[in-house]
Amino acid sequence: MIRRINKTLRIQWPVLLLIFLAILLPLFLENTFYAYFIRILGLAGLYMIIALGLNIVVGYLGLLDLGFMAFYAIGAYSMALLSLAGYGFWWSLLASVLITMFFRLAVGAPVLRLRGDYLAIVTLGFGEITRIVLNNWDSLTNGPKGLSLLSSAAVQPIHFFHRTISTNTDFYYLILFFVVLCVVISARLEDSRMGRAWVAIRENEIAARLLGIELTRMKMIGFVASAAFAGAAGAIFARWENFVTPESFTFWESVMVVTMVVVGGMGSIPGVLLGAAIVVLIPEALRNVLGTEFVSWRYLIFGVALVLVAIFRPQGVWPNKRMSRELKLEEKGGSQNR
């Protein structure tokens, strides 16, 4: 039985070691000066979930999405509203994910025919529209003031493995659980018929169509699946933060998630995880290294690092094997296919 599970998941011992370390880490950090780091790691975990979702669209399908955080926002607001209405965490989570997927479906239906940068700009437009609507629909979202879950008696506590989730450490473990879950789902998707169809579409749409792949349907499934990740992450974020405002879901955030996927390595699951960790943790690490005087320099340094990564590792820090092989071929052959 275990061997069978292992065969489908292809768990290797470094992965197990990593998960083991991730479980132990808070025990060392708790009650020390670095306790706040648990929170930052949790945040990195949330971004890992989102980046894994975006990876389906950007990495596998090869489509650029510049408004992905809109679906994170929809997940977060759904969770906040459902919690305020008194529904339990797990049902609200499920509902939030479904709501997010529904919105993604509604948005995707008309726009998925568009190619390349047009798709990017339309997703950007939807992202901004979502934020503006959240900011102005006062009767539902309380506008720019946001929704607070703290003072409401209707909000039910979260139960997870017979524990009540409340502290940063609790949420760290909850998020860790979801990161592992999302990695498994991503890995299974990647190796499925569907995953292969997505990659075929990325490589050459026309050839993929000739092979009998239904382009629009396959793109749509990938598009909607990616939103589920963002919706789940948003829902957890809403309960963790106990507060949602439109300010958390700017265009800039969407750009950062794209950055995570590309810096880590498009289409590579370990790469995307690493990319999310890098983008969240480097500015934080710099905060400690630079000292109080130079704290404001850290984003400048981050920008320089981004440019350097783009120039020296355009395929990402931990690239997908197939993609890096293609890059090498292209360098040798010198032919340019755009």
Partner 1 sequence: MSNLIEQLLNGLTLGSIYALVALGYTMVYGILLMINFAHSEVFMAGAFLGWATLTMAQSLPAPWGIILAFAVGMAGCGSLAVGIEKCAYAPLRRAPRLAPLISAIGVSIILQNAVFLWRNDFLAFPLVFPQIQIPLGAVQISLVQLVILASSLILMFFLWLFVNKTRLGQAMRACSQDREAAELVGIPVDQIISMTFFIGAVLGGAGGILYSLYYGSIKYNMGFVPGMKAFTAAVLGGIGNVPGAMLGGLLLGLAEALGTAFLPQAEWKDVFAFGILILILILRPRGILGERTSEKL
Task: Check residue 302 for interaction with partner 1 (CB under 8 A).
Answer: yes
Nearer to partner 1, 9 or 304 (CB): 304
Nearest to 178 by CA among 8, 10, 46, 312: 46
- Residue 230 · residue 22 · CB < 8 Å: no
- Residue 41 · residue 172 · CB < 8 Å: yes
Applying CB under 8 A, among 99, 124, 183, 280 the residue interacting with partner 1 is 124
Q: Is 17 exposed, middle or buried (0-12, 13-18, 19+ CB in 10 A)?
A: exposed
Task: Check residue 132 for interaction with partner 1 (CB under 8 A).
Answer: yes
- By CB under 8 A, which span of 33-41, 159-167, 172-180, 308-316 interacts with partner 1? 308-316
Residues 63-92 that bind partner 1 (CB under 8 A): 64
Task: Check residue 303 for interaction with partner 1 (CB under 8 A).
Answer: yes
Taking the C-alpha atoms of residue 136 and residue 23, their distance in angstroms, rounded to an integer, is 41
Residues 141-160 that bind partner 1 (CB under 8 A): none
Task: Check residue 270 for interaction with partner 1 (CB under 8 A).
Answer: no
User: Cβ 183 to partner 1, closest distance in Å?
Assistant: 22
Task: Check residue 327 for interaction with partner 1 (CB under 8 A).
Answer: yes
Task: Check residue 321 for interaction with partner 1 (CB under 8 A).
Answer: no
User: Cβ 271 to partner 1, closest distance in Å?
Assistant: 13
Residues 7-26 that bind partner 1 (CB under 8 A): none
The 3-class SS string of 273-316 reads HHHHHHHHHHHHHHHHHHCHHHHHHHHHHHHHHHHHHHHHCCCC
- By CB under 8 A, which span of 85-93, 162-170, 211-219, 301-309 interacts with partner 1? 301-309
Applying CB under 8 A, among 111, 184, 185, 187 the residue interacting with partner 1 is 111
The first and second tokens of residue 38, run together, are 């648990």
Applying CB under 8 A, among 258, 272, 274, 280 the residue interacting with partner 1 is 258
Taking the C-alpha atoms of residue 57 and residue 6, their distance in angstroms, rounded to an integer, is 27
**Burial profile 154-187: b = 16 or more Cβ within 10 angstroms, e = fewer:** ebeebeeeeeebeebbbbbbbbbebbeebbebbb
Applying CB under 8 A, among 299, 321, 322, 329 the residue interacting with partner 1 is 299
- Type of residue found at 286: L
Strand locations in the chain, DSSP E?
Answer: 147-148, 158-160, 163-165, 243-244
Task: Check residue 214 for interaction with partner 1 (CB under 8 A).
Answer: no
DSSP one-letter string for 185-230: HHHHHHHSHHHHHHHHHHH-HHHHHHTT--HHHHHHHHHHHHHHHH
Applying CB under 8 A, among 262, 272, 276, 277 the residue interacting with partner 1 is 262
- By CB under 8 A, which span of 24-32, 185-193, 216-224, 262-270 interacts with partner 1? 262-270
User: Cβ 26 to partner 1, closest distance in Å?
Assistant: 31
Who contacts 261 (Cβ-Cβ below 8 Å, separation ≥6)? 51, 54, 55, 58, 59, 272, 275
Task: Check residue 136 for interaction with partner 1 (CB under 8 A).
Answer: yes
Structure-derived torsion over alpha carbons of residues 60, 62, 64, 69, reported in degrees to the nearest 10: 0
- Residues binding partner 1 (CB under 8 A): 58, 64, 110-111, 113-115, 117-118, 120-122, 124-126, 128-129, 132-133, 135-136, 206, 251-252, 255, 258-259, 262-263, 266, 296-297, 299-300, 302-307, 309-311, 314-315, 323, 327, 330-331, 336-338
